[in-house]
């Protein structure tokens, strides 16, 4: 049995270079970065170096990078602090955002009585810009727009520059969950108007448990976690130095090799789309994931022409054949509910068919894709 990992949107394999850097940090730089002796100073220097490296690549200032435990914490922190500290009264988002945004916004609606508005989507899952404009024009409340750059389930790429420009025109705060985008696409925060965005290292071949928030200078946000003065007083708690060093190395590698690795993975996805259409002609693609220009090169969400009973055992069958993939976000795998993204986009009869997300990385090969499609074709034949 072959082993094939095609769940890279959930998490990625850690690069060898990252593992080496983290092992060195754990073995040799174990001082607390807040300590004033040489051990602490060495660790602190490395933390600040990582911050500067990330900021330079994003064309940001080092003070605008706040290390967190990952994307979920960063999204929670930004939305909560915006309501608490910036007097945001209305959050505008979409019903297909990651639950780190949706569930946080829903809790803020209960706790603070804010208005929660959802922008209309087209049949593919893209926000309708004319409706967003109407929502921005509606009443005079302080607003924050939260729309993700790359959807984690269907891979749609939103026009983040157009949304940012619209928010700037109406003097509205703009937050984007960019967890599926950072490390895979170039970023320049001076070119794109965005007040806040988030990243998680494990989405671009770094360690789990570390990420960062970009918080534009002079935003007015105050700490959510209190204690020591770490992260310039914005996020208390001893820094996970080994994870931050790992994040930095993964970030550097991802952007140094961006063109080469993007071309390789994009070719893999194009090959997968072509081969699966040939093997199972009635296959369909959710959102824009079948379009390499309108969706991320890292994933394809396929809807297969199997009945409900076949669908119930498909993932199990793939797992038994050594193939790792998913029905949607790994964050909801413990839930009995289906994908909230597909529920929003598909009619009931199409939801009965199994939809599978296959996501790719530099570590995959066309031979692995051939094997996977062969298993699907065999399953379809009964």
Instruction: Cite the active site residues.
Output: 331
Please identify which residue in the block is written with the tokens 């960062």: 212
Contact call for residues 217 and 60 (beta carbons, < 8 A): no
Tell me the C-alpha distance between 177 and 372, whole Å.
Answer: 30
Q: For residue 155, is it left (φ>0), alpha (ψ between -120 and 50) or beta?
A: left
C-alpha 175/C-alpha 108 separation (Å) is 15
Contact 303, 353 (CB under 8 A): yes
Q: What does the block give as tokens for 300?
A: 């394809």
Return phi, psi of residue 291, to 5°: -115, 115
Quote the CA–CA distance of 167 and 196 in Å, as a whole number: 12
Please tell me the distance from the alpha carbon of residue 184 to that of residue 111, in angstroms, as a whole number. 36
Q: What is the DSSP letter of 246?
A: H
Phi and psi angles of residue 168, each rounded to the nearest 5 degrees, phi first? -65, -40
H/E segment holding residue 144: strand 143-146
Classify 125 as helix, strand or coil.
coil
């Amino acid at each position: 049995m072959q082993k094939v990992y095609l769940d890279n949107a959930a998490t990625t394999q850690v690069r060898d270079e990252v593992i080496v850097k983290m092992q060195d940090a754990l073995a040799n730089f174990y001082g607390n970065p807040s300590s004033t002796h040489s051990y602490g100073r060495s660790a602190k220097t490395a933390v600040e170096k990582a911050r500067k490296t990330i900021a330079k690549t994003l064309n940001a200032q080092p003070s605008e990078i706040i290390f967190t435990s990952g994307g979920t914490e960063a999204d929670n922190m930004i939305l909560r602090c915006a309501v608490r500290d910036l007097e945001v009264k209305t959050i505008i988002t979409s019903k297909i955002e990651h639950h780190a945004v949706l569930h946080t916004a829903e809790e803020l609606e209960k706790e603070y009585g804010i208005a929660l508005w959802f922008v209309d989507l087209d049949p593919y899952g893209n926000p309708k810009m004319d409706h967003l404009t109407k929502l921005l024009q509606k009443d005079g409340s302080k607003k924050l727009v939260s729309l993700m750059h790359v959807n984690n389930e269907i891979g749609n790429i939103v026009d983040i520059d157009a949304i940012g420009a619209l928010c700037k025109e109406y003097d509205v705060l703009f937050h984007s969950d960019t967890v599926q985008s950072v490390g895979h696409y170039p970023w320049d925060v001076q070119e794109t108007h965005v007040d806040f965005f988030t990243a998680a290292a494990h989405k671009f071949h770094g360690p789990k448990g570390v990420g960062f928030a970009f918080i534009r200078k002079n935003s007015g946000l105050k700490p959510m976690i209190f204690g020591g003065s770490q992260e310039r007083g914005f996020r208390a708690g001893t820094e996970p130095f080994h994870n931050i060093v790992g994040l930095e190395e993964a970030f550097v590698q991802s952007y140094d090799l961006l063109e080469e690795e993007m071309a390789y993975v994009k070719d893999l996805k194009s090959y997968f789309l072509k081969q699966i259409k040939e093997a199972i002609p009635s296959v369909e693609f959710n959102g824009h994931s079948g379009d390499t220009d309108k969706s991320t090169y890292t994933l394809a969400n396929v809807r297969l022409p199997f009945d409900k009973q076949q669908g119930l055992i498909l993932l199990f069958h793939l797992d038994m054949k050594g193939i790792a993939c998913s029905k949607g976000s790994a964050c909801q795998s413990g839930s009995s509910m289906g994908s909230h993204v597909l529920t929003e986009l598909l009619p009931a009869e199409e939801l009965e068919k199994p939809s599978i997300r296959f996501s790719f990385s530099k570590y995959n090969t066309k031979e692995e894709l051939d094997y996977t499609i062969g298993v699907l074709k065999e399953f379809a034949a009964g």
